[in-house]
Structure 1
């Protein structure tokens, strides 16, 4: 039986949050199985909290040289992943993304041959051509009288494996999402049964020990109970305090429960907050209700491995401010560590600010 603290320390260890690692950027992104990139700065902030000596140009170079790719992935959201993981995971997610397209744009694409739409998009993007989603949507709508260009562009994003090449997804670069074909990655059109099993192994390496429901919450993929049963002979099986089965790789690290966990400031949508159906290993339910509001997931502060506060950054002229909003009582030592880590992060985000201020509000 694994205690909540043991599960917490395992998650922090696999997500490089017990200590900053000395790893190349691409290896680190592969170790944690991708980073959320809904906003281009999120993976940079995630790696700052995980890697020793991380600098903005390290991740930018990996995106520019295509060691890492940005695409629509888990939970139909943007992620930065290694080419190897993208090639493995994206075909497994295809049924989920088809369902997302149907739910979001099914009515607006009624009567349109979606297979033909996807094939035509591939022709328009052939030869390394890059088009933004609005540009592609308009070109596709020209041949379909009365079609909604917005719905067509989004439908292609869900239905065809695409990558969003640099400078999109690099530090502070926002705007219309560019589309490029992903054929150069070696991606296959359909996932095999072994691909699904391998995705589960990769998930457990990055987030285990975990339940079937946890893996489903992370990926959005159904039918995983059968996959876990197939893998059972090669996995280590645990239970949590409520008796739920938790699976893990046989050689996975199992850090001691009494290991100290340093203060870490995580960006919005960081994986440990979203990778489990049971999120209590990183935040109790009363905290989760304040962190996960609607479709949003706030930037958080971990104290002793669990969410203790949220944080925001603002800039007014030459003055940059990082404000920490506690969600529980913070002892003096924790407040000191939060202030130190916050000052370092603010210098990373706004190195040119003439003045940087840390506002750590009173404990809840």
Structure 2
């Protein structure tokens, strides 16, 4: 019989593999590759994610890698933005094409009027090969040829068909504004491909996120029907059982630390791999947190206490000053309160990047 793992055991396994029990001395590209990319819907998300995981991480270190094209930001898993190493972008992006095609079919196909996807695609490539464009400008230029279509939907043809890299200076630390988009061939010098084999993707997912179920990986990636890929690896994978009886898979030497291993407070950005990488998120998002996070539209910046999400936090900037407001989901002990406040100040100092003053305030526990 497979060993049963509690949510707390899964919590510590996940935090250990994601370097959130202790910051690691790992090169930034190696960390991004191991994590199979970083959530990158917001400009600062990857920076905060790496600061939580890597010792002595500095903003400029990641910005340099973005400028020199070692890491690339584009739409991959779940049709959401991720930051990948250049090699992973070229091999993972084609694996996700069915996910993007499904998004196009379900969300945008009926919004392009008389336009044919192939024709829009061809015209969009012509425009992007002239110069980088924002998505808004791309849609407007395409609408000149198809005035009965929504410009947003026309631009999505290119988002779903091409690998559009968000190029600097947009979308790096300290720079806002709509991102400039360029085809990967134009920005990084080579197209995508060949696609990573699904069994290899399974192995790498489990190394960073396991033990995990097939549904967990499908939720993380947006792919469907992954059972055959897991079946192909049955002879080499280890099987466990979750608290609810679901089958969990893992690589043979995956980290499984003691469930009582101390877990430091961490302030996560709005989107973070450590909890978005699963269908069943109870390993880090207990019922209390799940209920509270739904009340504020699901995706919020959250913090952990003892490894589990215990509240959310908000950020306000005034010139160079940083103000963090903490909203707990439960009553905290004096020691927990002190730990949370200390990490809030540390996280705020990172966000301030040596400028201005960091203040921390508390709101009442969510009822």
Q: Give your verdict on TM over 0.5.
A: yes
Distance 1:317 1:176 in 2: 21
Question: Which residue, out of 325, 328, 334, partners 1:326?
Answer: 328
Residue 280 of structure 1 aligns to a residue in which SS?
coil
Partner of 1:207: 209
- Tell me whether 1:260 sits opposite 2:244 in the alignment: no
State the Cα distance separating 1:204 from its structure 2 match: 1.0
- Tell me whether 1:34 sits opposite 2:37 in the alignment: yes
State the Cα distance separating 1:43 from its structure 2 match: 0.9
Deviations 1:161-206 (A, max 9, x none): 2211111220132222322112335412x74xx6222222221111
Question: Which residue, out of 39, 44, 49, partners 2:52?
Answer: 49
State the Cα distance separating 1:281 from its structure 2 match: 0.3
Alignment TM-score, normalising by the size of structure 1: 0.92
Distance 2:342 2:306 in 1: 15
Deviates more, 1:135-144 or 1:20-29: 135-144
Cα distance change on mapping 1:319 and 1:125 into 2, 3 Å: closer
Question: Which residue, out of 276, 279, 295, partners 1:277?
Answer: 279
Deviations 1:209-236 (A, max 9, x none): 1001101111110111122112211211
**8 Å CA contact retained: 1:339, 1:360:** no
State the Cα distance separating 1:27 from its structure 2 match: 1.5
Distance 1:317 1:142 in 2: 40
State the Cα distance separating 1:253 from its structure 2 match: 2.0
Distance 1:253 1:18 in 2: 12
Partner of 1:5: 8
Deviations 1:109-128 (A, max 9, x none): 2432212322332233337x
Distance 1:252 1:273 in 2: 18
CA RMSD of aligned residues (A): 2.0
Partner of 1:15: 18
Distance 1:61 1:76 in 2: 26
Partner of 1:346: 348
**8 Å CA contact retained: 1:323, 1:358:** yes
**8 Å CA contact retained: 2:322, 2:358:** yes
**8 Å CA contact retained: 1:330, 1:363:** no
Cα distance change on mapping 1:68 and 1:295 into 2, 3 Å: farther
Cα distance change on mapping 1:66 and 1:292 into 2, 3 Å: farther
Partner of 2:192: 187
- Tell me whether 1:84 sits opposite 2:87 in the alignment: yes
- Tell me whether 1:173 sits opposite 2:172 in the alignment: no
Distance 1:314 1:241 in 2: 40
Partner of 2:128: 125
Residue 282 of structure 2 aligns to a residue in which SS?
helix
State the Cα distance separating 1:241 from its structure 2 match: 2.0
Deviates more, 1:269-278 or 1:136-145: 136-145
Matched positions, count: 360
Listed as ranges, the gaps of 5+ residues in structure 1 are none
Deviates more, 1:143-152 or 1:201-210: 143-152
Cα distance change on mapping 1:239 and 1:302 into 2, 3 Å: same
Partner of 1:24: 27
Deviations 1:278-332 (A, max 9, x none): 1100011231122245754111111111001111111335643111111112111
**8 Å CA contact retained: 1:168, 1:178:** yes
- Tell me whether 1:290 sits opposite 2:287 in the alignment: no
